[in-house]
């Protein structure tokens, strides 16, 4: 089929790779290059780099308002994967067979911008991807198929993102095969079962030790690697990359450092038990094992973290 692809981040790359092998990609529409890092150098979206490597035309409008160039392609389908802009109803009506979206949740749960993170934060044990027809609502279109994926205890936002990007590519190819063969079905979403995955903000990572240990661990996992969970020790922000529930110590108040375990890390009291922090990053240092961090930083038992 003749397809215009719309996507931007790394999550979109596996799907575009799969489409390039099986279908005719007429063009890629992605977000503009952005300045990143201390040098403020412009960095291309990962999807753009892949498209240019395959000599596919790339368009990067600030706002996708002018639709004339999209009409000129005479595409069968638009495929959208984490593009980052809302498509107008006019755009949705351009391709002959409609617009198809790869969404990283089992709809109607976790509609919105951050389904992977919120599934982990909320303690879900299963998620997946949904291939759906797009309409003018936010992830409300008719569903074509779903593929499920277990969320393992060791999964974080990064690992689950990678698994779902591969699963999404496979699911999309299966759905496109059904569309080509006129066997695709349309399942309406039950809006009463919907949940919303709001945008993740940096301040959400500030750990509240008045919560239960599992809630804290889920937040750390869900915000890894960005924006990451953190606390303050004497005014210094310390990011927490990895931690686990600990029942080694029980006495103390939430947020208090109640123990140091040699070659492992330090223990922080929570509402119901404690967590052992095993990997951290200080304000002026790189990511490291908590045991290495302790060699260069004084972490005192009895200190109450902010």
pLDDT digits (tens, 9 = 90+) for 261-299: 989 999 999 999 999 999 999 988 899 999 999 998 889
**Residue 38: pLDDT above 80?**
no
pLDDT band (50, 70, 90) for residue 247: confident
pLDDT band (50, 70, 90) for residue 40: confident
Residue where the block lists tokens 């686990």:
244
What rounded mean pLDDT belongs to the chain? 95
| pLDDT (mean) for 92-114 | 97
**Residue 180: pLDDT above 80?**
yes
Structure token digits, residue 181: 């063969």
User: What confidence score (pLDDT) does residue 283 get?
Assistant: 87
User: What confidence score (pLDDT) does residue 35 get?
Assistant: 87
| pLDDT (mean) for 67-89 | 94
User: What confidence score (pLDDT) does residue 37 get?
Assistant: 76
| pLDDT (mean) for 76-80 | 98
The answer to whether 189 and 142 are in contact (CB under 8 A) is yes
pLDDT band (50, 70, 90) for residue 36: confident
| pLDDT (mean) for 125-141 | 97
Percent of the chain having pLDDT more than 90?
92
How far is it, in rounded angstroms, from Cα 207 to Cα 228? Answer: 10
One-letter-per-residue 3-state SS of the chain: CEEEEEECCHHHHHHHHHHHHHCEEEEEECCCCEEECCCCEEECCHHHHHHHHCCCCEECCCCCCCCHHHHHCCCCEEEEECCCCCCCHHHHCCCCCCEEEEECCCCCCCEECCHHHHHHHCCCCEEEEEEEECCCCCCCCCEEEEEEEECCCCCCHHHHHHHHHHHHHHHHHHHHHHHHCCCCCCECCCHHHCCEECCCCHHHHECCCCCCHHHHHHHHHHCCCCCCEEEEECCEEEEEEEEEEECCCCCCCCCEEEEEECCCEEEEECCCCEEEEEEEECCCCCCEEHHHHHHHCCCCCCCECC
pLDDT band (50, 70, 90) for residue 65: confident
User: What confidence score (pLDDT) does residue 140 get?
Assistant: 97
pLDDT band (50, 70, 90) for residue 249: confident
User: What confidence score (pLDDT) does residue 67 get?
Assistant: 83
**Residue 73: pLDDT above 80?**
yes
| pLDDT (mean) for 106-110 | 98
Residue where the block lists tokens 């802009």:
85
| pLDDT (mean) for 214-224 | 98
User: What confidence score (pLDDT) does residue 153 get?
Assistant: 95
| pLDDT (mean) for 242-251 | 88
User: What confidence score (pLDDT) does residue 248 get?
Assistant: 77
| pLDDT (mean) for 106-128 | 98
Whole-model pTM? 0.95
pLDDT band (50, 70, 90) for residue 243: very high
């Amino acid at each position: 089929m003749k397809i215009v692809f719309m996507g931007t981040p790394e999550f979109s790359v596996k799907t575009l790779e799969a489409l390039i092998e099986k279908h005719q990609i007429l063009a890629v529409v992605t977000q503009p290059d952005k300045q990143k890092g201390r040098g403020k150098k412009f960095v291309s979206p990962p999807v753009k780099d892949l498209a240019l490597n395959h000599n596919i035309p790339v368009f990067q409008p600030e706002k996708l308002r002018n639709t004339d160039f999209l009409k000129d392609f005479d595409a069968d389908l638009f495929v959208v994967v984490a593009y980052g802009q809302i498509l107008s109803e006019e755009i949705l009506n351009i391709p002959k067979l409609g617009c198809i979206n790869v969404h990283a949740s089992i709809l109607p749960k976790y509609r919105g911008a951050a389904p992977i993170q919120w599934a982990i934060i909320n303690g879900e044990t299963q998620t997946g991807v949904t291939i759906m027809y797009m309409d003018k609502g936010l992830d409300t279109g008719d569903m074509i198929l779903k593929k499920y994926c277990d969320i393992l205890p060791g999964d974080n936002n990064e690992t689950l993102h990678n698994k779902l990007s591969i699963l999404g590519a496979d699911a999309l190819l299966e759905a496109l095969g059904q569309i080509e063969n006129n066997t695709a079905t349309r399942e309406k979403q039950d809006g009463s079962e919907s949940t919303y995955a709001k945008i993740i903000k940096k301040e959400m990572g500030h750990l509240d030790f008045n919560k239960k240990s599992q809630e804290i661990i889920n937040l750390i996992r869900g915000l890894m690697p960005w924006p990451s969970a953190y606390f303050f020790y004497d005014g210094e922000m310390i990011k927490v990359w990895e931690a686990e529930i600990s029942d080694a110590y029980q006495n103390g108040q939430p947020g208090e450092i109640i123990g140091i375990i040699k070659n492992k890390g330090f223990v922080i009291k929570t509402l119901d038990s404690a967590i052992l922090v095993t990997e951290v990053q200080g304000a002026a240092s790189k990511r490291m094992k908590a045991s290495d961090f302790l060699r260069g930083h004084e972490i005192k038992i009895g200190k109450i973290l902010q």
